[in-house]
Structure 1
């Protein structure tokens, strides 16, 4: 299957992408991984992306599209892939369509993870990270530490990242609504969108997604 995963920040796209890719035996292709791999390997596209990033500028669509194209042409993606973070806007969606059409391929589904905005803010703004080890992550509501502000694992101080503040989260949501959400209507016109609620436990959402991808549009 060839799938695009969409949803607002905090919808759990990364977590669900990993589970779904494993269940469907297809590679999980995320924009973040593409950038890190190309930059670390010093590819031409990676060097271009780094030059924009170092200058504090947005990486142009054509660079992101080029990275995605290279990754989708690798042997493990012959039988399908799950795209996470790409396409990020309608221009990228159109480029992806053209790219697939040139290879006589097409998308099978666009999985839209739906989460109420207030829940997104609650999920992200409630995160607390250990200063000693960023792998130790807590949540003031869902996985609170035994002692407020103290990491259960090592006793380090827990803090809220600047990116996780409510003000920043709401700005990120505005960007999502303006730039990325329009691709849902773009793909709806092609009959590709399947929308599920991303509320509940991780395994419940995964099961719901698998049912939807098998054709149960009521999932």
Structure 2
């Protein structure tokens, strides 16, 4: 099973690249933002709570997000793999995700981080806000706050995956297809390593 974490600040292009990766590798897309917005659209208690936090540029409690991901994994047991878009955002979340995946006899293959300068992010999100109807995309102060949260908290997750030799940073500015090619190159390298691991284990048993 191929599991990928696609990482980067708001507006880095994670959603665009996710869709291309899903089609290319036949993965299931797990975007916590999409899952939460679905709850908001349905007007559930969770949705109302999440909306207030998201409008303020804050994060939803870990246990809620992990619970949603667990349900999604269980509902897609035959999937070729998953792409985690926008999660994990903190080291505790990354640790919780590793534990959860271990329960499903899986693991993260690699993390790819798209790096984009703050001013470009602000420009992208304000433009997106013209059609997304998301309040947090229409207020520059909130946008910069989200980027600050990413830089001060979320970016620490990079160190967690780097310690596992799974982290790769790529320039998220440029032609979409060029960025996609670079992401695929990283993923294919890690997928090859994962394919070799079971073969090596089998050889050791036979020896």
**TM-score range, shorter-chain basis?**
0.7 to 0.9
Find the partner of 1:202 among 176, 179, 186. Answer: 176
Report deviation, 1:5. 0.8
What SS does structure 1 have at the residue aligned with 2:165? coil
Structure of larger gyration radius: 1
* TM-score normalised by L of structure 1: 0.73
- Distance, in Å, in 2 between the alignment partners of 1:213 and 1:120 is 25
Which structure is higher in helix share? 2
**Is the 8 Å Cα contact of residues 40 and 51 (structure 2) preserved in structure 1?**
no
* CA-to-aligned-CA distance 1:123-150 (integer Å, 9 cap, x gap): 2345562xxxx37x9xxxxxxxxxxxxx
* CA-to-aligned-CA distance 1:1-20 (integer Å, 9 cap, x gap): 10011101111111111111
* CA-to-aligned-CA distance 1:107-134 (integer Å, 9 cap, x gap): 11111111122322232345562xxxx3
**Is the 8 Å Cα contact of residues 40 and 50 (structure 2) preserved in structure 1?**
no
- Distance, in Å, in 2 between the alignment partners of 1:61 and 1:55 is 16
- Distance, in Å, in 2 between the alignment partners of 1:13 and 1:77 is 24
**Is the 8 Å Cα contact of residues 194 and 213 (structure 1) preserved in structure 2?**
no
Report deviation, 1:197. 1.0
- Distance, in Å, in 1 between the alignment partners of 2:39 and 2:128 is 30
* TM-score normalised by L of structure 2: 0.77
Aligned length: 185
Q: Which blocks of at least 5 consecutive residues in structure 1 are unaligned?
A: 138-159
Corresponding position of 1:100: 101
**RCO (CA 8 Å, sep 6+): is it higher in 1 or 2?**
2
Indicate whether 1:50 and 2:51 are aligned.
no
- 4+ residue segments displaced more than 4 Å: 37-42, 54-58
- Distance, in Å, in 2 between the alignment partners of 1:66 and 1:162 is 25
